[in-house]
Amino acid sequence: MKRETGLANVMRHAPLVAPSMLKCDFGNLHREVELLEAAGAQMLHLDVMDGHFVPNLSYGPMVIERLRSLTDLTFDAHLMISQPARYLDEYIEAGCDWITIHAEAEDDPLPLLQRIRDAGRLAGLAFNPGTPVADIEQALPACDLVLVMSVEPGFGGQAFNPIALEKVRQVRQLAGAEQIISIDGGIGPSTIADSATAGANVFVVGSAIFDEPDYGAAISDLSARAQGTVV
CATH ID of 2-227, from 3.90.1150.10, 3.40.50.620, 3.20.20.70, 2.50.20.10: 3.20.20.70
pTM for the structure as a whole = 0.94
Q: For residue range 16-61, list pLDDT tens digits in order.
A: 999 999 999 988 999 999 999 999 999 999 999 998 999 888 999 9
**CB 111 within 8 Å of CB 132:** no
Annotated binding residue 47: yes
Distances (CA, A) of 187 to 20, 104, 226: 11, 22, 11
Annotated binding residue 45: yes
Q: For residue range 68-95, list pLDDT tens digits in order.
A: 999 999 999 999 999 999 999 999 999 9
Annotated binding residue 108: no
Q: Is 97 a catalytic residue?
A: no
Sequence ranges of the domains in the chain: 2-227
Annotated binding residue 220: no
Tell me which of 76, 97, 144, 184 is the catalytic residue: 184
Single-letter amino acid code for the residue at 28: N
- Residue 4's pLDDT is 72
Where are any strands of DSSP class E within the chain? Answer: 16-19, 43-49, 74-80, 98-102, 122-127, 145-149, 180-184, 202-205
Helices 84-94 and 110-118, interaxial angle, to 10°?
20
Distance CA 164, CA 151 (A): 8
Tell me the average pLDDT across 118-122.
97
